[in-house]
Structure 1
Amino acid sequence: MKRFGTGPVVAAAVLGLFVLVAVLGPVLVPYDSVATRVGDRLLAPGSTASDGSFALLGTDQNGRDVLAQVIAGSRVSLLVGISVVVAGVLVGLVLGLLAGYYGGWLDTIISRLGDMQLAFPSILLAILLAGALGPSLTNVIVALAVTRWVIFARVVRGSALTTKGREFVESARVMGASDLRILAHYILPSCVQPLLVAATVQVGLTMVAEAALSFLGLGVPVDQASWGSTIANGRDYLASAWWIAAVPGIALTLVVICVGVLGDAARDESDPAKEVVAR
């Protein structure tokens, strides 16, 4: 029986708590994340606001509750991370299957297109697209999905190239199975496990990319809270109000580390060499 170590279990628990807070955040903390209160500017963590509410993590330079901003930002990060990975997986899966199974000129076109994109830094491409599309949650998802599809396409293409020459695929082809049936019933199952491992890793990287775009003012609009925009708002107050930038920064770091730990665990569990050694 496969068993995970303590690290992945703790990481899964932390991520589960993060998801729970993101989903139930407005119920847990009924404060508006973008409501400004000038009289409550730069309150330290644990202070009491002028209306009697408790600012557990303090307030920023506009009197906005930092805890409410972190919770609202977690919803944005979760939505962007999952949406970008799902969109990238769908596009990469289709293109990777076509390139790996049919090969020839189709493989050449898809592979060269991916090579050209990989030659350009993904964060710069995301900045270019986000700047052209404008600040919007949908535009952020589109911009980041464009930078991610090639990663999944290469993973699927490699699995398809390995599987299409196997005996059971050749037998299905001899028996008259159509290309669509072979792709769906024989090639696709072999791509699922490596694709899931790659997707797990990319969730954390996507969250970092979204925070970077929001930090630069190219992410979500100013009327929506985001970890990146909150960090950007607190960069001028690191000496006097460190909690504005530190709290969302710690939250982002913790989530990305936990996602990385789970991605490494999934990769180790799917490593064929591990099965050979176990035998």
Structure 2
Amino acid sequence: MRCARLILGMLLLGVGVSVQADLVPSPGQVDFGYRAVGTTSEPKATTLRNTGGQALSIVSITPATGVYARTGGTCGAPPFTIAAQSSCTLEHTFTPTDVTQFPQTHTVTLAGGSSVAFGLYGQGEVGYLEIFPTSLWFSSVAAGSTSGTLTATMNNIRSVPLVVVQMHTTSVPPGSFVRAGGTCPEPPFEVGGPGGCTVEFAFTPQAVGPASGSLNIMASSGTFVLFLGGDGAPEVPLFGDGFEAVVPVP
């Protein structure tokens, strides 16, 4: 990927130098890097520098389309003139619409028909939660009592942030699993790229036997699941006459 960017930048710069040495775009390719899909970057500038000894007249510049938009700069709208040994700037923003690469080439045409080119490049990305462990299992816990807590970590492994919109716990029987802490705040909240936080759960079996559940995490880039499970044990052993066993006090 880096190699593709370098080759494209070299080709664009090579076109500028060989066709019209007096007008030099800098950089030859503006790299917006990774950007979260649907979000807009800060403007980045391309400088058009007249390195020659006489003014140059710019008659047209390929307009930005799709995910790129021109948002300012000092060059103004064509036609315009760049004085000798002077420069002006073109500013663009990047708003990716998908998880893919977005190369775009722009041609600056001068009076007389010669031209130079510069490029814009960016890549759309979405955050992705990697949950470890993928499930929390509570060994036998007496029905009606509450276990200690177990912890899972939610890591955003991508380079762009995501927003956790909602977290909802389900369990069978109902009420078996309760969130008991961790560093993740209540939704909505942002998980940086890369970054992460933790969730802690306790198990309160409502009956003797297995219980299952899940934490369903709805985020800006999709839905993620932490599985929960445990086994409810009898409350306390009973004597044959039906009375509860008394645990001696030391």
TM-score by length of 1: 0.24
Q: Which has the higher contact order (CA 8 A, sep 6+)?
A: 1
The structure carrying a bigger helix percent of its residues is 1
The structure with more radius of gyration: 2
The structure in which a higher percent of residues are strand is: 2
The TM-score with structure 2 as length reference comes to 0.26
